[in-house]
Structure 1
Amino acid sequence: MSEIRGPRPRRRRLLRAAVGLLVLLAVIGYFAVQRNSNGGGGAPFCTASADPVGEDGTSETYEMSPEQAANAATIAAVGVAKGLPDRAVTIALATAMQESALRNLDHGDRDSLGLFQQRPSMGWGTPEQITDPVYSAGIFYDHLVDVPGYSRLPLTVAAQKVQRSGFPQAYAKHEPDATVLTAAFAGGGTLNCGGPAPAGPGDPERVRADLTRIFGKDGLHTPPPQAAAQAGRNTGDGGAVEEAEVTLAEKRGGGEDATRRTRAMAHWAVANSKELGISRVSYGPHGWIGGKDRGRWRDEDGKGDPHNAGPGEVRIFMAR
């Protein structure tokens, strides 16, 4: 009489592995649907892209949460506002990626706090100052520029001379991603942020105040109201945009530095859209709309569109 045998252990292992793979694919599919649903109104996410490389047009990318994007944008914007080169921005971003994963932490080793895990007991500032991203980024840059030849040093060496970390080589692994972020915020790259449109109204005065803190009053220029009308921002029937708006423009004759600042402002606004209730950003011939186009920038079309920006302008809109 033949003996009835149960499934072999190897077959059971293969079955469990297949089931696990199916579950993993289902989870990945769910989040992909969430991202792409409603034109990008699913789960919030941000993707930084560097300039396209290679003949196929592919580019280096880095994905992060809106919180991380907002902090990265602030770090980069502070560096741009100080007139520092891309290398300084990359060093700062790589340092914050290692120290806090681009999160504004209220804890750390001993009394370390914030994006850069700076310590009040070591003279970096008060806890309130250190947990202010604008302040913490600014004081990091102030110490960095005091390092002789920092821009020519290996990133780990430059960061370590500021941070005095117990693990100085850990900064190196973040350099490629920090370079992508620098390109997105301060160079020729792009930041796309998807997710639902803001649920509540934004505060244009807070947006203007935050940008003033970063760039200073001298770094901002608001076109007079008559210039906006002359730029054709009203619709053909005489209607105007319904959103609250903050409009900024490059100073005439500002050159590449002015262009770099306005680019940083535009991407800062997109990165902070979830937190500040920003529903739309227009920059030159390009536009970004919360909850649409999978969070991607698109070319503005139609001269009669009241949201269009003029050359060198950034227009930030918040739904009322």
Structure 2
Amino acid sequence: MGPVSEPIPLPRPSRRGRLLRVGAAFAVLLAIAGYVVVQYVSGGPGAPGCVAGTGDGQGSSFELSPEQARNAATITAVGTSRGMPERAVTIALATALQESGLRNLDHGDRDSLGLFQQRPSMGWGTAEQIMDPVYAAGKFYQHLAEVPGYSRLPLTVAAQEVQHSGFPQAYAKHEPDATVLMAALTGRESAALTCTVAKNAEPGDPARVREGLRQVFGDGVVEARQPADAGRDVAVPVRVTEDAVASGTGKEQRGWALAHWAVAQAEALHIARVSYAGRVWSADDSADGWSAAPASAAASPSVGPAGAAPGGSGDAAQEVRITLAP
């Protein structure tokens, strides 16, 4: 047997190596802490966001940010309030998806601005006006209504007649998502919009909500005087104009356009709860989406998203009730 060799001493960890390991461990702890904070603040998994689609999770769906949801809800509300048919709303949503990704951009090609990239130099209005989503959507619908037979035209043709884009075929790829959005925002065929939002850190202001409703849906959308005991609730009666009825927009579509507008605005306006037609959305349980309201709080029955009860008189008093964070 040969001589026993001496063990080779292992190198002692350097101070730099120890510091790197400590730093890596600290970074992991920070990441875990950040995840816990997100879970607590958002009230559920992931960051705040919205999903448009069928309430039972079947069929098509479309994910969008809170900003995109607010703008999509505004475009839909302006269209339904003007008595524009669902096809017009779909065309408008597809156009905004292509032009701005449903974001109110303060820049674009040459002097293009806003949701539809409208140009002040081409007579669409002032820069300040175009940056107002309600104004921009209204101008789009105004021009669309002047296109003969637009509702029977391919979406790309109808949008191009308004926009005069250099890439007219680009609108086509957004038609499926725009169709899902339109259906969800009007409560068509059990579709719905739901948003996961951060917990309300500030109280909501009923006056801000009423003003927002007036800007989007027009004067008279809310009662001039709310009940004295309304507190942090804003009651919105569901009324439909003759023009809207003629275009096929009934109380159900009007009501769900109001309700989904409120859900889309929940984070910005600190809305805690929205209820309509026997369904309720709550910020505290926003990850769960719409659910059946307690029997004592259910509104008049109607057709709506995810199983709202059908039936009832079409003339029955209905309202969307918006509750603000305390």
Q: Displacement, 1:197? A: 2.2
Determine helix, strand or coil for the equivalent of 1:246.
strand
Give the counterpart letter for 1:244 in structure 2.
R
Q: Displacement, 1:102? A: 0.3
User: Is the counterpart of residue 259 in structure 1 residue 252 in structure 2?
Assistant: yes
How far apart, in 2, do the equivalents of 1:220 and 1:310 lie? Answer: 18
User: Is the counterpart of residue 43 in structure 1 residue 47 in structure 2?
Assistant: yes
User: Is the counterpart of residue 67 in structure 1 residue 67 in structure 2?
Assistant: yes
Determine helix, strand or coil for the equivalent of 1:279.
strand
In structure 2, the partner of 1:109 is 109
User: Is the counterpart of residue 209 in structure 1 residue 202 in structure 2?
Assistant: no
In structure 1, the partner of 2:177 is 177
In structure 1, the partner of 2:132 is 132
In structure 2, the partner of 1:269 is 262
Q: Displacement, 1:126? A: 0.5
Q: 1:246 aligns with which of 211, 234, 239?
A: 234
Structure 2: gaps (5+ residues): 1-30, 302-317
Q: Displacement, 1:41? A: 6.5
Q: Is the 8 A contact 2:195 2:286 kept in 1?
A: no
How far apart, in 2, do the equivalents of 1:253 and 1:95 lie? Answer: 26
How far apart, in 2, do the equivalents of 1:289 and 1:58 lie? Answer: 22
Deviates further, 116-125 or 258-267: 258-267
In structure 1, the partner of 2:200 is 198
Deviates further, 149-158 or 185-194: 185-194
Give the counterpart letter for 1:212 in structure 2.
R
How far apart, in 1, do the equivalents of 2:224 and 2:55 lie? Answer: 30
Q: Displacement, 1:38? A: 7.3
Give the counterpart letter for 1:276 in structure 2.
L
Q: What is the TM-score of this pair, normalised by structure 1? A: 0.77
C-alpha offsets along residues 186-205 of structure 1, whole Å, 9 cap, x if unaligned? Answer: 24210010132222111211
How far apart, in 2, do the equivalents of 1:85 and 1:301 lie? Answer: 33
Determine helix, strand or coil for the equivalent of 2:281.
strand
In structure 1, the partner of 2:290 is 297
Q: Is the 8 A contact 1:197 1:291 kept in 2?
A: yes
Structure 1: gaps (5+ residues): 1-26, 227-239
Give the counterpart letter for 1:318 in structure 2.
L
User: Is the counterpart of residue 278 in structure 1 residue 271 in structure 2?
Assistant: yes
Determine helix, strand or coil for the equivalent of 1:211.
helix
C-alpha offsets along residues 132-181 of structure 1, whole Å, 9 cap, x if unaligned? Answer: 00000000000000000000000000000000000000000000000000
How far apart, in 2, do the equivalents of 1:251 and 1:97 lie? Answer: 29
Determine helix, strand or coil for the equivalent of 1:166.
coil
Give the counterpart letter for 1:40 in structure 2.
G
Determine helix, strand or coil for the equivalent of 2:271.
coil
How far apart, in 1, do the equivalents of 2:173 and 2:49 lie? Answer: 23
Question: Are the structure 2 counterparts of residues 157 and 38 from structure 1 closer, same or farther at C-alpha, using a change threshold of 3 Å?
Answer: closer
Q: What is the TM-score of this pair, normalised by structure 2? A: 0.75
Q: Displacement, 1:208? A: 0.8
In structure 1, the partner of 2:3 is none
- Quote the sequence identity (%): 56
Determine helix, strand or coil for the equivalent of 1:225.
coil
Q: Is the 8 A contact 1:35 1:195 kept in 2?
A: no
Question: Are the structure 2 counterparts of residues 38 and 185 from structure 1 closer, same or farther at C-alpha, using a change threshold of 3 Å?
Answer: closer
- In the alignment of these two chains, the number of paired residues is 271
Question: Are the structure 2 counterparts of residues 281 and 51 from structure 1 closer, same or farther at C-alpha, using a change threshold of 3 Å?
Answer: closer
Q: Is the 8 A contact 2:187 2:252 kept in 1?
A: no
In structure 1, the partner of 2:8 is none
